[in-house]
Amino acid sequence: MEKNESIRYSIRVFTFLMKKTLAPSFEFPGGGIALRSVSSCLNSLEAGCKSDLSAERLNAYCICQVYAISRFDTGYLCKWKVSHSFGKKAIERFERSTKGKKYFEDKWLKEAGLSRSGLLIEFRDRSEHPLMKFIFPEFEENTKRRMHSSEVGFYICQVSTLLWTPFSPSCQTCKNENRCKEVCSRKYAELYRLRLDEFKADKK
């Protein structure tokens, strides 16, 4: 799975599990710090398995972390941070997983009406879409911050980026956001539709 999509996929699965099992109103924190935490975590996981991260492994990681949260008292959710589930200790927790722990994780999933195979089906089609890698091209952020919110910046984005995406911190704070959305919808109609669909899916 391509790196940016691995990040997006992990956040989506983690959020889905949190909403379905612990906190229906849960929202994964936005912004660069959260994305960098997830990115660093996946780099470590990929180095550990010495191969590209599969959907199965990403699902297993998210299941492990959300299950761990479910074992804490309810007040833990108020103190939860991205690093708690995508930091060094979280990675060590996952790497210590055993068959016995997997049994209890599967039992927990079943109680919530979920399963590992069901998660693969739930997110399979999205991950296979040929434009998925462009949902949030993080490498465009530096360009989008040049002359941010100005007319010159708007021009730079039109000629050098794939324009508006709801996942971009730069787009979210830009004064030209609505104009850029209109241009994006005309110039990249299918990508624009996919971005909206994915953003809505993340909010479920």
The pLDDT value given to residue 51: 63
Note the pLDDT tens digit of each residue in 112-158: 999 998 888 777 755 567 788 888 988 999 999 999 999 999 999 99
The pLDDT value given to residue 3: 79
Percent with pLDDT over 90 in the chain: 65
- Confidence label for 44 from pLDDT (cuts 50, 70 and 90): very high
- Summarize the confidence of residues 160-167 as an average pLDDT: 95
* Of residues 56, 43, 197, the one with CA closest to residue 135: 197
- Confidence label for 174 from pLDDT (cuts 50, 70 and 90): very high
The rounded distance, in Å, linking the Cα atoms of 198 and 16 is: 13
Q: Which residues of 74-104 are buried (b: 16+ CB within 10 A; e: fewer)?
A: eeeeeebebbbbbbeebbebbeeeeeeeeee
- Confidence label for 202 from pLDDT (cuts 50, 70 and 90): low
The pLDDT value given to residue 204: 55
The pLDDT value given to residue 133: 82
Tokens of 129: 């879409």
- Summarize the confidence of residues 58-71 as an average pLDDT: 96
User: Are 55 and 10 spatial neighbours (Cβ–Cβ below 8 Å)?
Assistant: no
The rounded distance, in Å, linking the Cα atoms of 84 and 105 is: 18
User: Are 69 and 22 spatial neighbours (Cβ–Cβ below 8 Å)?
Assistant: yes
| First-last CA distance in the chain | 23
Note the pLDDT tens digit of each residue in 66-83: 999 999 987 888 899 999
